[in-house]
């Protein structure tokens, strides 16, 4: 059974959570140079610097911040997404790298805000576990989140997926605390606004929590016979009313205030933003042998993908923990708890675990991002992992003392976490190519025709070889890597500055080609074969024997024949 009452974290818990947060940030920072720059991130570098120009008023165009010209300079570029994270990326780069010189690596300077939020997500995941079942579950939950290779990969990038994961768990945690505190209700509204400033995904969180609130109020009604608490006592309707008011007022207010682009032609720009995401483009995805490039998409995509891309030990204990949550939620539904602070805790965890996956399972939701688009489910799944370990230990030794069960739980945790951390450190820099033992690892996933490349991130692994072998001033075709990514590599000293970027679809103008293996991009590899007159790369990047990158070199062109009598 799950603990009978929710436990508020103590100062010791916050201290331990802070240590986990710092450990996560350090691990991400120390491995940042192994993680390549995907297409999106290269565009966000540019948007980040322009946003920083506005916030820091560093350029002549942004001296008068409120002028339309200054706002457009700072925020017109890449306005498909809010500017909360882009502003943090840019200010971090401008200050830590360019002004103070504390961080020499440009990419790391951009990425540090994401890493900080990933660390905070581990902290909050720990606190959620503490509240649900105690310190051991919280500790195992935080470690499980840190040991997921794909979460680890995306937690490096100056992109929005790890920040949205933090925002979702922060909103959920503040909601749980706000269920008995008006001050936390204000925090919940502010957290929602911050989530809005990161990406659209957080739009769904209030609706998930609304369902949990309705369940809470219904349970209160069944237990007491009334919707409202008697006398001056405060029941669920009162607290949820505070939370709703805070989110309705503060969420949109923070969203509007943080984004100066919305201050110009507000109705037009808000409408454009909503319309862009309502009609989002669909990029092709290779899934179980079928190349999907338009809806309807298979509903089982996120379920199968999760089953094949989370380390098996975590998957097993997560399934046990999820089952425990289901049984606890069903028991609470049948017999409302006598513990008023327990409320709908199991339903709360289940709703936040399942909702991000269910959203992607809808047949018309874009699926091109793979696991990163339902990453907000992972902190709650990690809590289920911790709960599953403890529940399994209790089931194996029901008569043992608390110390004995704790020792067994620690042993089970080691069995699950050590392989997961090894996989994270081994394959984490190649996160989109990681698959677990159920898939047969990277080779099995390739046989299943699952995607293993994502917008050029793996290019970084080929750079040392290219740096050593390309002739001076070489013209290179960089498939799926943008000019911004190549310039970033050159700026950080990972690629010689004399190597030239020929541009998209420019194979005929190149002598070298760096091809990222992806089924939907086969026409571009065929262009290389035809134009170069070769079928095999001269070098490659592999993960467990599976090709991620192929490097092609054009043979030296034969001199044209000399006609009789000379030229």
Q: φ, ψ for residue 296 (rounded to 5)?
A: -80, 145
Residue 321 corresponds to which tokens in the numbers above? 């923990």
Name every residue whose Cβ is closer than 8 Å to that of residue 302 and which is 6 or more positions away in sequence.
357, 360, 361, 367, 371, 374
- In the chain, where the domains are located: 11-422, 457-553
Q: What is the pLDDT of residues 42-81, one digit of tens each?
A: 999 999 999 999 999 877 777 788 888 889 989 999 888 9
**What is the structure's pLDDT at 142?**
97
**What is the structure's pLDDT at 120?**
98
**What is the structure's pLDDT at 560?**
60
- DSSP three-state, residue 291: strand
**What is the structure's pLDDT at 2?**
43
Is the pLDDT assigned to residue 371 strictly greater than 70? Answer: yes
Q: 521, exposed or middle or buried, with CB in 10 Å at 0-12, 13-18, 19+? A: middle
**What is the structure's pLDDT at 220?**
78
Is the pLDDT assigned to residue 209 strictly greater than 60? Answer: yes
Instruction: Check: CB of residue 206 under 8 Å from CB of residue 367.
Output: no
b/e per residue 423-456 (b: at least 16 CB within 10 A): bbeebbbbbbbbbbebbebbebbbebebbbbbbb
- DSSP three-state, residue 290: strand
Spatial separation of the C-alpha atoms in residues 287 and 254, rounded to whole Å: 39
Q: What is the pLDDT of residues 127-176, one digit of tens each?
A: 999 998 889 999 999 999 999 999 999 999 999 999 999 999 999 999 98
Q: Where are the alpha helices (DSSP H) in 365-401?
A: 378-396
Integer-rounded Cα radius of gyration of the chain: 26
Beta bridge partners of 553: 512
**What is the structure's pLDDT at 4?**
45
Instruction: Check: CB of residue 336 under 8 Å from CB of residue 223.
Output: yes
**What is the structure's pLDDT at 566?**
58
Is the pLDDT assigned to residue 20 strictly greater than 50? Answer: yes
The residue count for the chain? 567
Strands (E) across 407-560 are located at 475-478, 500-501, 512-516, 539-543, 546-553
Spatial separation of the C-alpha atoms in residues 512 and 82, rounded to whole Å: 38
pTM for the whole structure: 0.92
Is the pLDDT assigned to residue 338 strictly greater than 60? Answer: no
C-alpha distances in Å from residue 245, one per residue of 185, 189, 228, 250: 9, 8, 18, 8
For residue 432, give the DSSP letter. G
Q: What is the pLDDT of residues 485-510, one digit of tens each?
A: 999 999 999 999 999 999 888 899 99
- DSSP three-state, residue 492: coil
Is the pLDDT assigned to residue 340 strictly greater than 60? Answer: no
**What is the structure's pLDDT at 336?**
63
H-run or E-run covering 285: strand 285-287
Instruction: Check: CB of residue 261 under 8 Å from CB of residue 71.
Output: yes
Instruction: Check: CB of residue 494 under 8 Å from CB of residue 520.
Output: no
Average pLDDT, the chain: 89
Is the pLDDT assigned to residue 254 strictly greater than 90? Answer: yes
Spatial separation of the C-alpha atoms in residues 109 and 100, rounded to whole Å: 11
């Amino acid at each position: 059974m799950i603990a009978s009452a929710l436990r508020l974290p103590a100062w010791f818990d916050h201290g331990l959570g802070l240590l986990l947060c710092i450990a996560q940030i350090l691990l991400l920072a120390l491995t940042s140079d192994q993680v390549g720059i995907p297409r999106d991130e290269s565009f966000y570098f540019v948007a980040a610097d322009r946003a920083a120009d506005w916030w820091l008023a560093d350029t002549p165009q942004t001296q008068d911040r409120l002028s339309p010209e200054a706002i457009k300079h700072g925020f017109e570029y890449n306005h498909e997404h809010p500017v909360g994270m882009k502003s943090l990326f840019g200010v971090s780069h401008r200050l830590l790298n360019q002004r103070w010189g504390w961080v020499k690596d440009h990419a790391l300077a951009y990425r540090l805000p994401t890493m900080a939020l990933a660390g905070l997500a581990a902290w909050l995941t720990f606190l959620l576990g503490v509240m649900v079942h105690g310190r051991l579950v919280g500790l195992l939950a935080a470690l499980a989140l840190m040991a997921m290779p794909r979460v680890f990969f995306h937690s490096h990038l100056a992109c929005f997926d790890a920040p949205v994961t933090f925002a979702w768990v922060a909103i959920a945690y503040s909601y749980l605390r706000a269920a008995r505190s008006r001050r936390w209700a204000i925090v919940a509204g502010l957290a929602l606004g911050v989530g809005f400033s990161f990406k659209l995904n957080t739009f769904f969180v209030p609706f998930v929590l609304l369902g949990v609130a309705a369940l809470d109020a219904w349970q209160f009604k069944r237990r007491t016979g009334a919707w409202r608490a008697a006398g001056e006592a405060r029941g669920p309707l009162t607290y949820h009313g505070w939370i709703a008011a805070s989110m309705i007022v503060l969420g949109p207010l923070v969203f509007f205030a943080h984004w100066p682009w919305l201050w110009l032609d507000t109705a037009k720009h808000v409408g454009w933003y909503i319309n862009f995401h309502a009609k989002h483009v669909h990029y092709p995805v290779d899934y179980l042998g079928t190349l999907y490039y338009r809806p309807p998409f298979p509903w089982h995509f996120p379920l199968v993908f999760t089953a094949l891309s989370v380390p098996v030990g975590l998957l097993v204990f997560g399934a046990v923990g999820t089952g425990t949550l289901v049984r606890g939620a069903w028991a609470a539904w049948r017999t409302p708890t006598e513990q008023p602070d327990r409320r709908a805790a199991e339903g709360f965890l289940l709703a936040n675990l399942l909702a991000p996956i269910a959203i992607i399972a809808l047949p018309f939701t874009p699926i091109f991002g793979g696991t990163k688009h339902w990453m907000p489910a992972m902190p709650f799944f990690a809590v289920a992992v911790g709960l599953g370990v403890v529940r399994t230990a209790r089931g194996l030794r029901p008569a043992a003392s608390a110390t004995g069960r704790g020792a067994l739980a620690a042993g089970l945790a080691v069995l699950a976490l050590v392989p997961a951390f090894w996989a994270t450190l081994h394959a984490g820099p190649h996160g989109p190519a990681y698959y677990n033992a159920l898939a047969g690892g990277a080779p099995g996933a390739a046989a299943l025709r699952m995607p293993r490349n994502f917008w050029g991130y793996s290019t970084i692994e080929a750079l040392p070889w290219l740096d050593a072998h390309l002739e001076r001033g070489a013209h290179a075709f960089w498939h799926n890597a943008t000019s911004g990514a190549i310039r970033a590599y050159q700026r950080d000293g990972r690629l010689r500055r004399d190597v030239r970027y020929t541009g998209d679809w420019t194979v005929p103008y190149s002598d070298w080609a760096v091809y990222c293996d992806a089924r939907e991009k086969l026409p571009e590899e065929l262009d290389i074969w035809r134009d170069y007159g070769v079928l095999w790369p001269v070098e490659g990047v592999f993960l467990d024997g599976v090709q991620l990158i192929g490097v092609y070199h054009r043979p030296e062109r034969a001199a044209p024949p000399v006609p009789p009598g000379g030229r």
